[in-house]
Amino acid sequence: MKNGKILVVGGAGYIGSHVVMELIKHGWDVVILDNFSTGNIRLVHPDACLVKGTLDDVNLLDQLFAEHKFSAVMHFAAFSQVAESVREPLRYYRNNISGTINLLEAMIRHSILYFIFSSTAAVYGDPECIPILETHPCRPSNPYGRTKLMIEHLLSDCDAAHGFRYMTLRYFNAAGADESGTIGEMHNPETHLIPIVLEAAAGLREHVYLYGTDYSTPDGTCIRDYIHVSDLAGAHLLALKTLLNNGKSNIYNVGNETGYSVKEVIEKAEEIVGKRIPVIETNRRPGDPATLIASSEKIRMELGWTPSYGSLDAMILTAWNWLAQSNRSNNAKSYQKRQA
């Protein structure tokens, strides 16, 4: 049975494509709007309707909303690299904020008032206490986090002024890939730890730079809360269902409440791929907080969210599987043959 239609902005990206897969699996029709600045055609679901375009194109947005009757909009289209945002703040402010304003204005013009927003743990900055609750003060330590926090404020103002209803999901570190191996992380250039570590394991890069070994953590390297992208996608479906049922705006962390240091991630990857991964220790990367670990009690209690792939093993294994399936690595492929 069909549920209705969702506009997924940024549905050709890493997280967006996994949410599209989950939506389609659960009987939703999906229209993807993507400008392919960071998305990839290989990640576009064959059953989704694809519209190539940008959020700058206000006429296109009006056309889309006139043509389709969307139940809700999900917004994944943003620049999301911390270090890049430190180097090029204006590009981040322009893309992330003005694009979202255009989208929200078009939604309000067409009386589409349900919105799911991809926010980030980066809104918290350096946390005062761990695990981080949604009520923790938001003091982002980089422009990327500030752009997301500004949009969170914008959403709350639109709720008050226009009866606009939203669910904001603050992602911790998305990792892994769909179990099918058909979609996964595909950034160019890749900056995220797990795919970089696996590319080094597969011989696609010479080494991994480890950014900073003098953080105030037990082994001196940054600690992050990794969350499987399919569990993240599941959280979106629950958020959508709840929003459409009770129509109340809310904000939820999505993380596993467990932190792994950069060194621990590298060691786990070495264990899984069965080889040493060359590492070069270097300076801290600007804008990186030492430790980010979520409290996800709120989403578990209120939405009934339970992760299915909570272990770091599952995240690294599915990412390794994707690397092999995506034909980028013979080593990953031959490793899998040996495992079979």
172 binds ligand UFG (CB under 6 A): yes
* List of E strands, 76-161: 114-120
Among 191, 213, 258, 336, binds ligand UFG (CB under 6 A): 191
For residue 38 the two structure tokens come to: 């960071």
For ligand UFG, which is the closer residue by CB, 116 or 222? 222
122 binds ligand UFG (CB under 6 A): yes
Which CB contacts under 8 angstroms, 24+ apart, belong to 205-210? 206/278, 207/277, 207/278, 207/279, 207/280, 208/266, 208/277, 208/278, 208/279, 208/280, 209/279, 209/280, 209/281, 209/282, 210/262, 210/263, 210/266, 210/279, 210/280, 210/281, 210/282
For residue 219 the two structure tokens come to: 């082994």
* DSSP H or E run through 52: strand 49-52
121 binds ligand UFG (CB under 6 A): yes
71 binds ligand UFG (CB under 6 A): no
95 binds ligand UFG (CB under 6 A): no
CB-nearest residue to ligand UFG: 222
173 binds ligand UFG (CB under 6 A): yes
For ligand UFG, which is the closer residue by CB, 244 or 290? 290
169 binds ligand UFG (CB under 6 A): no
Q: Which residues are catalytic?
A: 144
| Residue type at 38 in one-letter notation | T
Residues with Cβ within 8 Å of residue 264, at least 6 apart in sequence: 219, 312
Which residues in 193-212 contact ligand UFG (CB under 6 A)?
193, 196, 208-211
Q: What is the rounded distance in angstroms from the CA atom of residue 119 to the CA atom of residue 99?
A: 15
119 binds ligand UFG (CB under 6 A): no
Q: What is the rounded distance in angstroms from the CA atom of residue 139 to the CA atom of residue 123?
A: 6
Among 55, 288, 317, 335, binds ligand UFG (CB under 6 A): 288
Among 8, 183, 262, 316, binds ligand UFG (CB under 6 A): 262
For ligand UFG, which is the closer residue by CB, 286 or 304? 286
Q: What is the rounded distance in angstroms from the CA atom of residue 110 to the CA atom of residue 62?
A: 8
Which residues make up the interface to ligand UFG (CB under 6 A)? 80, 82, 120-122, 172-173, 191-193, 196, 208-211, 222, 224, 262, 285, 288, 292
